Structure 1
Amino acid sequence: MSSIPLDYETLRLVWWLLLGILLIGFAIMGGRDLGVGALLPFVARTDEERRVLLNLVGPTWEGNQVWLVLGGGAIFAAFPPLYAVSFSGFYLAMIVILLALILRPVGFKFRGKVKDPRWRAAWDWALFIGGFVPSLIFGVAVGNVLLGAPFHLDDTMRAFYTGNFFLLLMPFALLCGLVSLGMIVTQGASVIAGRTTGPLAERARSYGTISAMATIALFALGGMWIALGVDGYTITSVVDPNAAINPLAKTVTLTRGGWLANYGLYPWMILAPVLGFAGMIGALLALQARWRLPALLASSLGIFGITSTAGLSLFPFLLPSSTVPEASLTVWDASSSHLTLFIMLLVTCFFLPIILLYTGWVFRVMRGTVSTESLEKNPNAY
């Protein structure tokens, strides 16, 4: 491995950062579409207004899913034990998410096939489910990671998940789900308010104001719950960041408020929750002031801060085990080999800039206000 210019520890850290970037990218970019879908039946009152919202996200939503696909691929290739445990243990929850996400492309294509108001209303609610359910369950998943997942490993590193779907619906996990839903609805409202006009934009501002305030309050409540009511995980044995993969070669203890320890060790991490609060407060103020672009930028900053707070609090843990804490998966003992991480990094350095450039070009082409008048001029509109 001496020919590889980066040591194992550095590559593991780089891939932890890249995984975080991909997941945050999906939360921001995919959150635009999920948020608009969750608001569809409430913000838009007429068929024309609902068509405006469909055409607001219809041309770009598929491209935004690239972040989710890349995030899943990064977990599979960079942290295979994490992929094995999470994708099998949370199988039913992921099926629910996938079924909800499938409703979106079907809804976009089939809603306009029949002019019957009942037909279109049914697909509007299907699109609502496609935005609401993933937004909620993704947050519930993060909450369960902070609580610890019920799994253990045997001597051959085979994973055994001992939980079920309903055990995922713990009060703290549901709170995290509401935080996720609130920040994504705020993102969707900022998009609608920024690219539409008239009553549609005004209603979006009203819902966005409520969701931003709810997100701020729920995020603060979650922080207090973490400090006072949730046991955090701490590695108490010596950690070798360059060691071979072996999740069982460590000792772990649980302490109340342990997820806050990183903020004492690395004071700069406090920027994450500060940005989370600042972004949502900024989105709230910008929506009230009718500042279009600042509202979207502030909402995106809030999503970045809130999501980063979860990741930084967990570090170096990827998926703690609530049944056998020593089996918890961390950045240091659940990664792929040194050579695999390096080759993947080279591939990523080539393709990720292309994806960013293409995404920027698409949004530049699709910029501007969407209105009923613009739909009449577009024969390909939904």
Structure 2
Amino acid sequence: MILHELLDYDTLRLIWWGLLGVLLIGFAATDGFDLGVGMLLPFAGRTDVERRIVINTVGPVWEGNQVWLILGGGAIFAAWPQLYAVSFSGFYLAMFAILAALILRPVGFKYRSKRESAAWRRNWDWALFVGGFVPALIFGVAVGNVLVGVPFRLNADLRIFYDGSFFALLNPFALLCGLLSVAMLAMHGANWLVLKSSGAVAERARLYGTWAAMATIALYALGGVALWLFIDGYVITSTINPVGPSNPLAKTVEVAPGGWFTNYADHPWMMIAPVLGFVGAFGVLRGLRGKREISTLLLSKLSIFGIISSVGLSMFPFILPSTAQPGASLTVWDSSSSHLTLFIMLVVTGIFLPLIALYTAWVYKVLWGKVEEDDITGGGHAY
């Protein structure tokens, strides 16, 4: 037996669909609070010292957290090449905006306190706000567009043509998803600040976290209603071979009102995902009032897990539907890399992903504790 045949092709495709979700959730649960803290920086900190406290809660860990984004992009490139080709070309300007905003973070962290000028520091504070707000918004807008469908098509040679534009991505439902993403990550960032700071900074973060949690609940509920009433889903109407070659054109697809809710009717256990999204956010509200710092942060992560998982489970087996040519929509079963490629990548991931997780856990253990004013004014390596 050839080694890579130890796992069936359909099993490998399903595993990689799950791993893609793990990487996206891992990014939102780790680097997500970095983005949230950046959004809250000009508001949670009123004085220069307070803002430096806010920055230093994420300064030592943000680079490691961003690894999850790189892993996610790499996984899409290697495991789902057609998804990579459509999304990274069709969303090119949106991706450029995200990268430009993310570049502001390391520059802001390094240069913000290099001069004593109040105007200099204030400008970098707002740059760090942009570095948190813009990626959070655009990531949510991208998810909204995936649910609506993307205007791409394939010819007989599987060559991809994208017919959309940047401004077409800014449709009402996508913007709603973008606002949900901003609220969700602001909630997460506030919970991190409550855990890692004290005094006035922590109290303001508690207030903003409460507002963000309420906004997350309202926007998530509104998004679900809008998805049910106004957004058509996609349904495969032909047989599909889960072990066949990756050819998205070898199926037929229909656009159906409420189609994204079919999976919940067929598999009621999937309802646990949206339930966890709401339970986590409501738990954050209660935890912030009760001043339970660690459990509240974990509930924030639970909400993120539920919200992102609900998108993936709603769409399964679709990973990128096409509005221009529904039959060309990309699914788990017809847009992956080869059997051998998925197997080799799984072996490599099985080795390195646990190492990354262990190293991350060790870093958080070493850096455990609150950032106090003495840590900032006493010198050392504070930002």
Letter in 2 for 1:35: G
In structure 2, the residue matched to 1:86 is 87
Task: Give the whole-Å Cα distance in 2 for the aligned partners of 1:373 and 1:261.
Answer: 56
Q: Offset of 1:295 from its aligned partner?
A: 1.1
In structure 1, the residue matched to 2:201 is 200
Q: Offset of 1:376 from its aligned partner?
A: 3.1
Task: Give the whole-Å Cα distance in 1 for the aligned partners of 2:137 and 2:257.
Answer: 26
Letter in 2 for 1:163: G
Note the alpha carbon deviations across 1:182-208, whole angstroms, 9 max, x for none: 110000000111111111111101100
In structure 1, the residue matched to 2:129 is 128
Q: Offset of 1:2 from its aligned partner?
A: 5.2
Task: Give the whole-Å Cα distance in 2 for the aligned partners of 1:161 and 1:14.
Answer: 28
In structure 1, the residue matched to 2:365 is 364
Conserved? CA contact 2:277–2:307, under 8 Å: yes
TM-score by length of 2: 0.99
**What pairs up with 1:208-227 in 2 under 5 angstroms?**
208-227=209-228
In structure 2, the residue matched to 1:245 is 246
**What pairs up with 1:53-92 in 2 under 5 angstroms?**
53-92=54-93
**What pairs up with 1:130-169 in 2 under 5 angstroms?**
130-169=131-170
Instruction: Give the percent of matched residue pairs that are identical in Structure 1 and Structure 2.
Output: 62
Conserved? CA contact 2:375–2:382, under 8 Å: no
In structure 1, the residue matched to 2:255 is 254
Task: Give the whole-Å Cα distance in 2 for the aligned partners of 1:285 and 1:378.
Answer: 37
Letter in 2 for 1:93: A
Q: Offset of 1:291 from its aligned partner?
A: 1.0
Q: Offset of 1:377 from its aligned partner?
A: 3.8
* SS of the residue 1:249 aligns to: coil
Letter in 2 for 1:61: W
**Which range moved further: 191-200 or 356-365?**
191-200
Task: Give the whole-Å Cα distance in 2 for the aligned partners of 1:374 and 1:127.
Answer: 21
In structure 1, the residue matched to 2:291 is 290
State how many pairs are aligned.
Answer: 382
TM-score by length of 1: 0.99
Task: Give the whole-Å Cα distance in 2 for the aligned partners of 1:354 and 1:74.
Answer: 17
In structure 2, the residue matched to 1:344 is 345
Q: Offset of 1:330 from its aligned partner?
A: 0.5
Task: Give the whole-Å Cα distance in 2 for the aligned partners of 1:69 and 1:315.
Answer: 24
Task: Give the whole-Å Cα distance in 1 for the aligned partners of 2:277 and 2:101.
Answer: 27
Task: Give the whole-Å Cα distance in 2 for the aligned partners of 1:355 and 1:131.
Answer: 24
Task: Give the whole-Å Cα distance in 1 for the aligned partners of 2:24 and 2:141.
Answer: 15
Does residue 279 of structure 2 align to residue 278 of structure 1? yes
Conserved? CA contact 2:249–2:328, under 8 Å: yes
Q: Offset of 1:378 from its aligned partner?
A: 4.7
Does residue 65 of structure 2 align to residue 36 of structure 1? no
* SS of the residue 2:113 aligns to: helix
Task: Give the whole-Å Cα distance in 2 for the aligned partners of 1:367 and 1:131.
Answer: 23
Question: Runs (4+) of structure 1 moved beyond 6 Å?
Answer: none
Note the alpha carbon deviations across 1:52-109, whole angstroms, 9 max, x for none: 0111100000000110000000000000000011000000000000000000000001
Q: Offset of 1:267 from its aligned partner?
A: 1.3
In structure 1, the residue matched to 2:306 is 305
Q: Offset of 1:375 from its aligned partner?
A: 2.2
RMSD: 0.8
| Unpaired runs of at least 5, structure 1 | none
* SS of the residue 1:112 aligns to: coil
